[in-house]
């Protein structure tokens, strides 16, 4: 739900970094946390405050980033940073999309996905309250090695940022460092970018140089504190893993605060959009992929993997169950060990308790799926077909249902059957070869094999 923020602001998200240290063909901001690309986390955090405009800056040929941004937020604008000439150059590219805009401009980073909506709102509120030209987030990491120090004669107002390598021994003792996120008065930002000069060393344009401009013009820059974990920038696979730990902790706490029991929280992994109801019990070693909704009073047992599925009230899942995309589990239904469901609706009170694959199927209320049942839904070329099993039907163990096929309400299918034709309501179907017993043939067979060998 969007929470209309009382101050007018627009957002620029810098997402053009190639992520060389990730050693990947994938753009850095497309690497996933809790099942979603980093850029999606940043977009979600700011979207709750309903910015006037959101501009995402990407490099040329970053089509996958553009597609992801537009999929999540159709009204986002895309700006192209033709050459990687620093943060100032990137923001200048975005400002072309904000011509005539007046208000606050918030600058976020696509590779800093842990920032929360609450922190963004605090930064914007403090910016408007103090009527400053610039506001920024500051943190106190331990140790602060490598970070730009915030020089403040009169805290919380910043006079300049000094890079770690350029800091004096006294400046290196400063605890407060820059955490990356900044907000600007739009007019000041526009004028400042026009005056920005490239670094003599790198040739890049640095956004932080605008702080010096503000100080020289007797305008103020405000520091707003933020927790170190929120300002985590991700530039490597190891940092990605560190961020995953943090976000999983957040999601586990969120689930438990919402009324779920996690028997071993650290072994349960959620996706960003996982929705968990009240009085849900989740056993150890459970993994949720994207698009899962779990209603109240559900029990999910160990070693289950669930993605793209909805689970209704009172259902029991697992252990060792796999629910794939498009699966709907009805109230009080049971899915047991080594059962896989895909694009399947399992009705109220229905059971599939053992060693089965049910794909592209509609299983009626209170139906029972015996151990080893398979819906043969694929024709081996390109097409999938549906299996329908009526309410109260019973499918015997080791049955193959060759789709498209329908088993009627209350019908019984004998164990070991291969069902290729529809079964009427309340009918019994058997489709297997007749058993033949041959007395004393076993010993004769063994003797024959010994002579051959």
Residue 398: give its domain's CATH number. Answer: 2.160.10.10
Residues 380 and 405 in one domain: yes
Q: Is residue 1 part of a domain?
A: no
Are residues 396 and 310 both part of a single domain?
Answer: yes
Residue 154 and residue 293 in one domain: no
State residue 5's pLDDT score: 53
CATH number, domain at 77? 3.90.550.10
Options 48, 130, 305, 354, the catalytic residue: 354
373 and 342, same structural domain? yes
Question: Is the residue at 4 inside a domain?
Answer: no
* Cα radius of gyration rounded to whole Å, the chain: 30
Is the residue at 199 inside a domain?
yes
- Identify whether residues 191 and 102 lie together within a single domain: yes
Task: State residue 203's pLDDT score.
Answer: 92
| Measured CA distances, 342 to 34, 193, 286, 308 (Å) | 22, 53, 18, 9
DSSP-derived secondary structure letter, 266:
G
In whole angstroms, give the CA distance from residue 37 to residue 96: 26
Q: 59 and 183, same structural domain?
A: yes
Q: What pLDDT tens digit does each residue of the chain (453 aa) get?
A: 344 456 689 999 999 988 788 999 999 999 999 999 999 999 999 999 999 999 999 999 999 999 999 998 888 999 999 998 999 999 999 999 999 999 999 999 999 999 999 999 999 999 999 999 999 999 999 888 888 899 999 999 999 999 888 889 999 999 999 999 999 999 999 999 999 999 888 899 999 999 999 999 999 999 999 999 999 999 999 999 999 999 999 999 999 999 999 999 999 999 999 999 999 999 999 999 999 999 999 999 999 999 999 999 999 999 999 999 999 999 999 999 999 999 999 999 999 999 999 999 999 999 999 999 999 999 888 899 999 999 999 999 999 999 999 999 999 999 999 999 999 999 999 999 888 999 999 999 889 888 886
- Whether the CB-CB separation of 411 and 429 falls below 8 Å is answered with yes
- Residue found by looking up tokens 């497309």 in the block: 30
For residue 214, tell me if it sits in a domain.
yes
Same domain, 316 and 410: yes
354 has catalytic annotation: yes
Residues 251 and 184 in one domain: no
Residue 88's pLDDT is: 95
Q: What is the pLDDT of residue 381?
A: 85
Looking at 182, 200, 231, which one is the last position of a domain? Answer: 231
Query: What does the alpha-carbon distance between residue 358 and residue 334 come to, in Å, rounded to a whole number?
Result: 13
Tell me if 2 is assigned to some domain: no
270 domain-assigned: yes
434 Rama class: left (phi>0) / alpha (psi -120 to 50) / beta: beta
* Percent composition of the chain: helix, strand, coil (DSSP 3-state, to 5): 25, 30, 45
Structural domain including 293 reads 237-429
Confirm if 17 and 96 have CB atoms less than 8 A apart.
Answer: no
User: Helix 186-195 and helix 209-216: axis angle, to 10°?
Assistant: 110
- Specify whether the CB–CB gap between 350 and 368 falls below 8 A: yes
Report the number of distinct structural domains present in the chain: 2
CB atoms within 10 A of CB 349: 19
Q: Tell me the Ramachandran region of residue 218: left when phi exceeds 0, alpha when psi lies from -120 to 50, beta otherwise.
A: left
**Do 247 and 142 belong together in one domain?**
no
Instruction: For residues 241 and 223, state if they share a domain.
Output: no
Residue recorded with tokens 């927790």: 227
pTM: 0.89
Domain contains 443: no
Confidence (pLDDT) at 395: 98
179 and 111 in a single domain? The answer is: yes
What pLDDT was estimated at residue 6?
Answer: 66
Helix 63-72 crosses helix 38-47 at what angle (to 10 degrees)? 30
Alpha carbon distance 327, 7 (integer Å): 43
Of 198, 231, 264, the position where a domain reaches its end is 231
Q: Within this chain, do residues 372 and 402 fall inside the same structural domain, yes or no? A: yes
- Is there a contact between 370 and 388 (Cβ–Cβ < 8 Å)? no
407 falls within a domain:
yes
Residue 372 neighbours by CB distance under 10 Å: 18
- Boundary (domain end) residue, out of 214, 231, 248: 231
């Amino acid at each position: 739900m969007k929470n209309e923020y009382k101050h007018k602001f627009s957002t620029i998200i810098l997402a053009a970094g190639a992520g060389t240290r990730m050693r990947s063909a994938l753009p850095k901001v497309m690497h996933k946390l809790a099942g979603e690309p980093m850029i999606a986390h940043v977009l979600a955090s700011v979207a709750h405050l309903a910015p006037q405009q959101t501009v995402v800056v990407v490099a040329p040929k970053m089509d996958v980033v553009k597609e992801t941004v537009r999929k999540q937020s159709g009204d986002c604008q895309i700006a192209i940073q033709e050459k990687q000439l620093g943060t100032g150059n990137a923001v200048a590219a975005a400002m072309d999309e904000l011509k005539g805009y007046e208000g606050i401009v918030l600058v976020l980073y696509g590779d800093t996905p842990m920032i929360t909506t609450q922190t963004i709102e605090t930064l914007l509120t403090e910016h408007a309250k103090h009527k400053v030209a610039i506001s920024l987030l500051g943190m106190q990491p331990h140790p602060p090695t490598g970070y730009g120090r915030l020089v403040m004669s009169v805290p919380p107002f910043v006079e300049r940022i000094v890079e770690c390598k350029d800091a004096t021994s006294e400046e290196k003792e400063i605890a407060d460092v820059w955490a990356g996120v900044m907000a600007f008065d739009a007019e000041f930002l526009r004028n400042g970018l026009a005056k920005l000069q490239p670094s003599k060393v790198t040739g890049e344009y640095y956004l932080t140089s605008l702080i010096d401009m503000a100080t020289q013009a007797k305008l103020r820059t405000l520091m707003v504190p933020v927790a170190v974990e929120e300002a985590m920038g991700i530039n490597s696979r190891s940092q990605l893993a560190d961020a995953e730990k943090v976000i999983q902790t957040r999601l586990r706490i969120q689930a438990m605060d919402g009324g779920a029991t996690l028997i071993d929280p650290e072994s349960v992994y959620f996706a960003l959009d996982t929705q968990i109801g009240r009085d849900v019990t989740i056993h150890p070693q459970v993994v949720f992929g994207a698009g899962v909704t779990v209603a109240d009073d559900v029990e999910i047992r160990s070693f289950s993997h669930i993605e793209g599925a909805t689970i209704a009230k009172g259902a029991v899942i697992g252990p060792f169950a796999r629910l794939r995309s498009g699966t709907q589990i009805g109230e009080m239904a049971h899915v047991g060990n080594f059962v896989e469901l895909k694009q399947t609706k399992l009705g109220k009170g229905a059971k599939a308790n053992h060693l089965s694959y049910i794909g592209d199927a509609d299983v009626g209320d209170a139906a029972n799926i015996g151990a080893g049942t398979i819906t043969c839904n694929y024709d081996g070329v390109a097409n999938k077909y549906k299996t329908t099993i009526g309410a109260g039907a019973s499918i015997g163990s080791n049955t193959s249902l060759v789709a498209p096929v329908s088993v009627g309400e209350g019908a019984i299918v004998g164990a070991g059957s291969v069902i290729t034709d529809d079964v009427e309501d309340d009918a019994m179907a058997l489709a297997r070869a007749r058993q033949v017993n041959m007395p004393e043939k076993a010993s004769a067979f063994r003797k024959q094999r010994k002579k051959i060998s």
